[in-house]
Structure 1
Amino acid sequence: MKTLIKPLVLALSLTTLMACNANNRKQNKSELIAETVIKTTSKDHKPEIKVALLLDTSNSMDGLIDQAKAQLWKLVNELSYAKCEDESPSLKIALYEYGNDNLNAEEGYLRQVLSFSNDLDEISKSLFSLTTNGGNEYCGKVIKTALNQLEWGNNEDDLKLIFIAGNEPFSQGKVNYKDASKLAHQNDVTVNTIFCGDYNLGISTSWKDGADLTHGNYMAINHNEATVHLASPYDDKILELNEKLNKTYIAYGSAGRKKMEMQAEQDTNALSYNKANAVSRTVSKSSRLYINSSWDLVDAEKDKDFSYDDLDDKQLPKELKGKSKDEIKTFVAKKAKAREKLQTEIESLNIKRRNYIAEQNTEGSNSLESAMLEALKTQAEKKNYKWE
């Protein structure tokens, strides 16, 4: 039974006894170096939620990939409310596909689609790029590859999670999934397994064991369940504000125009599911997690190392070419003020929207989003993460 997926998530210690990460485990350094290349460390590190999505793109899981595409913005919005002590964690998402005949056999039929990124538009684009084809699904191999290729860091306040989804036996391939899960556990990475099918079948094919080895969550979902987006009386106004929000971006640099086009493309992709999903994306765009400092002057100005003196006139949009530094500052400040006002309006409407949807939504869901959020919140609580 070959499968697919077409179409995904934090405070400085006060004392030795009061840390955001309550367990304060000490790792064996020689074991760490021998087993993996995860070496990143940082002082004054803002807590991060790091989520690696490992998605099976073999033949019969288009429904799961569709869920990932359609539910990305709901997931991002929920994560934007996370708190670790008095800090708001940042979010980075990585994406792998595996089990696809179009992928390199020597590398285990897997591919890193996107390394850890906080670029939400790039994440959306990557999900929409996935296609399916029959293949061999090697869960142990893709887990080990994600552990070794990605920069997980070793900050104990970070929430580091792998979500792997599929429906073939978890034990396939030359890399033993038990070794891969133990390696994850050594590096404070929790593996959560999502079996697309019957709960007991997932247990008998080792999906639950793969999660248990890292104290992760095992979940079984209906990957063919259609995503339900509930409409609200506030949707049209929020989408209207989205159009105004887009006009506050000031594209600069060699990638500016392409990034702005990508932003519009992902707006369209979200709307392709329905209006309510486009609303969820708009809410994400008004949140603290939507950062575009690599190409937008309004966001870039907030970076500590940004300087107007470094701007090249050739890289500026036409409305700013030939302008003085003071004129550019004034223009950026005007756009920033307009954006802040729009974001406040969107956030206010979204509170009303969330309350309305909560009253209307009385049925549970057995989808990718619900499974991921359940696991993420359960594991976040172990590190004293809270939700606003």
Structure 2
Amino acid sequence: MKKFVKTTALAMSLLTCVACHANTNSNTKRIAMSQRSAQPVPKIEEPEIKVALLLDTSNSMDGLIDQAKAQLWQIVNELSYAKCDEQNPNLKIALYEYGNDNLNADEGYLRQVIQFSDDLDEISKSLFSLTTKGGNEYCGKVIKAALDQLNWGESNKDLKFIFIAGNEPYTQGNFSYKNASKLAHQNDITVNTIFCGDYNQGVSSYWKDGADLTHGNYMAINHNKATVHITSPYDDRILELNELLNKTYVAYGKVGRKKIELQAEQDSNARGYNKANAVSRTVSKSSRLYKNSTWDLVDAEKEEHFSYDKLEESELPKELKGKSKVEIKSYINKKRKEREKLQLAIVELNTKRRLYIDKKSIDSANGLENAMVKAIRKQAEKKNYKWNN
């Protein structure tokens, strides 16, 4: 009998251990599964189009700078139609000037005007800040500076372009353009050269060789040719909608007031050329590339880490001071719906506008915009980019 009791007790002990072990394994699996499910789903990084624009700002380049100012918005609009594997790539633009006597000689007469940015108003402001004066143009040196100073990233989906424009021999300066091209090519960065003048003269002064070394495009443009803007029957209405669109921005924080003023300033700069250029800017403001989450609550609310709880009373515009969180949310939601409706109307009008413009026969083949867009489209095909326009 004692032997039976001992055997039974031993069996029960073993069963208990097995059960405990099973429960432990089960709990461990549940915890592991819970931990796995609690882990954030990795965010798929959107591809980027990165464009570093290197502009000669010596005395003879007033026409080039003028084209860049006048054609910025057409370039942005063209790039807004790009897609990569069904994703919408972001656009970042950096700007350098070189060859200007006002710049530091020890640094090679070059200056980073703005690093890679997706703030289109700041990019426009930077372009309008450029002036021309004398100078020595060192192409290899400014390319090397852009390679070293800018954050190009490592994604093989990104398009990485340098566009350098000027009219002096490409060989000037103490840093070889060949070494600069080699460094660019090693980092998957394509250098496109734009010679401001006769095509064959650019070839003989090595601008074409500079592009060929990175499989880029060599282009020659008439930089003194005035930008041709075609007016359309839809322009007035688009500009009216732009005024309403501006009223949907809800500036907040320390920089809000300055940024809303900057937005108006760049509207004015675009109008300074003519109505059609202002229309192109309005179309850009209706695209996915016009982002202002750093100062506009409507855009900021869409950001992953935004929280109404973190908003300080002092950051709010006067129309939202003293309001509850529910009232603020309701106000922002109303502004968002207004903006989406206006943007849709602008896009629809622009579709008609583009069809109207396409019917007009205008020779713009030698302009900065045409040269840049043509090069980008051609090289983007290698990475499966397509245009949905």
TM-score (norm 1): 0.88
Matched, 1:195 2:156: no
Deviations 1:118-148 (A, max 9, x none): 0000000000000111011000000000001
Q: How far 1:362 sits from its partner (Å)?
A: 4.6
> What CA distance in whole angstroms lies between the structure 2 residues aligned with 1:160 and 1:149?
14
1:202 counterpart SS class: helix
Q: Is the 8 A contact 2:77 2:284 kept in 1?
A: yes
Q: Is the 8 A contact 1:57 1:130 kept in 2?
A: yes
Counterpart in the other structure of 1:228: 228
Deviations 1:15-73 (A, max 9, x none): xxxxxxxxxxxxxxxxxxxxxxxxxxx98321000000000001111001000000000
Counterpart in the other structure of 2:249: 249
Counterpart in the other structure of 2:294: 294
> What CA distance in whole angstroms lies between the structure 1 residues aligned with 2:339 and 2:80?
18
> What CA distance in whole angstroms lies between the structure 1 residues aligned with 2:138 and 2:208?
16
Relative to 1, partners in 2 of residues 1:331 and 1:375: Cα closer, same or farther, differing over 3 Å?
same
Q: How far 1:360 sits from its partner (Å)?
A: 1.3
Counterpart in the other structure of 2:144: 144
Counterpart in the other structure of 1:99: 99
Q: How far 1:375 sits from its partner (Å)?
A: 0.5
Deviations 1:85-119 (A, max 9, x none): 11010000000000011001111100000000000
> What CA distance in whole angstroms lies between the structure 2 residues aligned with 1:154 and 1:198?
37
Counterpart in the other structure of 1:156: 156
1:255 counterpart SS class: helix
> What CA distance in whole angstroms lies between the structure 1 residues aligned with 2:128 and 2:310?
35
The aligned amino acid for 2:264 is A
Matched, 1:80 2:80: yes
Deviations 1:174-218 (A, max 9, x none): 100000000000000000000000111101111001000000000
Which ranges of structure 2 fall in alignment gaps of 5 or more residues? 1-41
Matched, 1:208 2:203: no
Q: Is the 8 A contact 1:45 1:155 kept in 2?
A: no
Relative to 1, partners in 2 of residues 1:154 and 1:132: Cα closer, same or farther, differing over 3 Å?
same
The aligned amino acid for 1:66 is D
> What CA distance in whole angstroms lies between the structure 1 residues aligned with 2:51 and 2:274?
26
Q: Is the 8 A contact 2:161 2:189 kept in 1?
A: yes
The structure richer in helix per residue is 2
Question: For 1:1-388, what aligned pairs fall within 5 Å after superposition?
Answer: 44-388=44-388
> What CA distance in whole angstroms lies between the structure 1 residues aligned with 2:323 and 2:276?
41
2:319 counterpart SS class: coil
The aligned amino acid for 2:161 is L
Q: Is the 8 A contact 2:228 2:364 kept in 1?
A: no
Q: How far 1:358 sits from its partner (Å)?
A: 0.3
Give RMSD over aligned pairs: 1.0
Counterpart in the other structure of 2:39: none
Deviations 1:348-377 (A, max 9, x none): 000000000001135343110111111110
> What CA distance in whole angstroms lies between the structure 1 residues aligned with 2:141 and 2:293?
35
1:106 counterpart SS class: helix
> What CA distance in whole angstroms lies between the structure 2 residues aligned with 1:259 and 1:221?
34
Deviations 1:241-275 (A, max 9, x none): 00000000000000000000000000000000000
Q: How many residues align?
A: 347
TM-score (norm 2): 0.88
Counterpart in the other structure of 2:12: none
Q: Is the 8 A contact 2:152 2:160 kept in 1?
A: yes
> What CA distance in whole angstroms lies between the structure 2 residues aligned with 1:237 and 1:368?
28
> What CA distance in whole angstroms lies between the structure 2 residues aligned with 1:362 and 1:174?
42
> What CA distance in whole angstroms lies between the structure 2 residues aligned with 1:145 and 1:306?
35
Counterpart in the other structure of 1:29: none
The aligned amino acid for 1:116 is F
> What CA distance in whole angstroms lies between the structure 2 residues aligned with 1:50 and 1:160?
5
> What CA distance in whole angstroms lies between the structure 2 residues aligned with 1:364 and 1:298?
38
Q: How far 1:307 sits from its partner (Å)?
A: 0.3
Q: How far 1:344 sits from its partner (Å)?
A: 0.4
1:143 counterpart SS class: helix
The aligned amino acid for 1:199 is Y
Relative to 1, partners in 2 of residues 1:140 and 1:318: Cα closer, same or farther, differing over 3 Å?
same
